[in-house]
Amino acid sequence: MRKSGGSPVLRRRRFALFTLFTLPGLAIASWVARTPDIRIAIHASTQEMGIVLFGVSIGSMLGIVLSPWLIARFGTRAVTAAGMACIVVSMPVVGLGAEAGLAGAAAGGLCLFGLGMGGSEIAINSEAAAVERAAGVSVLPAMHGCFSLGTVVGSLAGACCSLADVSIGVHLVLVGCIGVPILVAQVRHLSPHGRSSVAGDRTEPVAPSGKRWRDRPLLLIGAIVLAMALAEGAATDWLPLVMVDGHGSSPVAGSLVFTAFSAAMTVGRFGGGRLLNRFGRVAVFRVSAATAAIGIGCVALVDNQILAAPAVLLWGLGLSLGFPIAISAAGDSGTDSSARVAFVATMGYVAFLVGPPTLGILGEDYGLRAALLLPLGLVVVAFLLTPALGVSVNAGRPTCASSDRLCDSPLR
């Protein structure tokens, strides 16, 4: 990775990414923090709530499937702008639909939110990976840290709104209004030409190939993303309800526990870049996955509210670096980094497709705490696959990843 002092264009582009990573975090935490209130408003059981949340999965998969073609056709800036616009518009739809007691409208709003998230995910991560290479230092964890910072703000605001008995509709309409000027001000600083770097070098369009399925190292990285994404999605979609139904907490307390989870994710991601530069991906991810497994296991298996709060912190800290580490590893694993990032991100979104309804069905039959055994098992699998993150391929030859010092990995 080459070092760069950072031109003004690069600095503006990087700041825009920091801001735009924050926006979806703010939005997702705003409605997740109100899921206990949304469930009451639409009179949904646990399984029915899983079906409502399935709207996010449907939208996400549609967005992730269309995104590579759209990026190749219109560039990352246009796709990111369109995706973020869907996220902003979805907030009033979810809030007003839930307040009216219309489960279908709430699910439709969540589908629009998922479409925006899925549609912009590859674009913004490809842009971020390009900026990371241009800057010469690890910035992806900090950018994902901005997403987590947004979730902290959103979840705190959600808890306050729930405590003050602010209606879901008013709350989420305000979130949408806040998002508009942020989007308009920052998206213009992104690259309009696919993943072209500031220096002017161009890479090939994002276009996943069938050959990826024969790329064993990339498949293993994708499996890691799938596992960590499902574990993160389990917390994002279900943690407030796990605390309410599984540990007897109040809806406000459930929102605050989700805030603690988001704060732990934020701390882990902002501090992760330094750890990665010093110890490398393999070592950091190994510790992260083990920490996440301990946290999820305690929340799932120990019926104690006092223990659940610190366990949630371990859950968040452990997951914080999983997705950015895997995305960075995928981008470094070959010359066609855009297509590799797209492929791995698509595998991750499989978790968002099957996660919410699966956990809802398991939660209806066995309880939400028991349903957490699924993401726990997948995190253990990701821990076992950790050496795959130490493989980097440059022009077909294994090399040391730019941010990984562990060049004696068994898979090298």
- Each residue of 308-350: pLDDT tens digit? 888 999 999 999 888 888 878 887 766 667 677 778 877 777 7
Q: Helix or strand or coil: residue 3? A: coil
The pLDDT mean for the chain works out to 82
- Please report which confidence band the pLDDT of residue 128 belongs to, taking 50, 70 and 90 as the band edges: confident
Residue 399: per-residue pLDDT: 36
- Choose between 309 and 283: higher pLDDT: 283
Mean pLDDT for 300-309 is 87
Residue 213: per-residue pLDDT: 64
Residue 75: per-residue pLDDT: 84
Query: Positive or negative CA dihedral for 399, 18, 289, 375?
Result: negative
Tell me what percent of the residues of the chain surpass a pLDDT of 70: 85
pLDDT tens digits for 383-405? 999 988 876 544 333 333 433 43
- Please report which confidence band the pLDDT of residue 359 belongs to, taking 50, 70 and 90 as the band edges: confident
- Please report which confidence band the pLDDT of residue 406 belongs to, taking 50, 70 and 90 as the band edges: very low
Mean pLDDT for 33-55 is 87
Residue 251: per-residue pLDDT: 83
Mean pLDDT for 125-149 is 79
Cα–chain center distance at 68: 18
Mean pLDDT for 110-132 is 86
Gap between the Cα atoms of 261 and 356, Å rounded: 18
Q: Which residues contact 152 (CB under 8 A, 6 or more apart)?
A: 29, 259, 262, 263, 266
Cβ contact 357:53 at 8 Å:
yes
- Choose between 211 and 66: higher pLDDT: 66
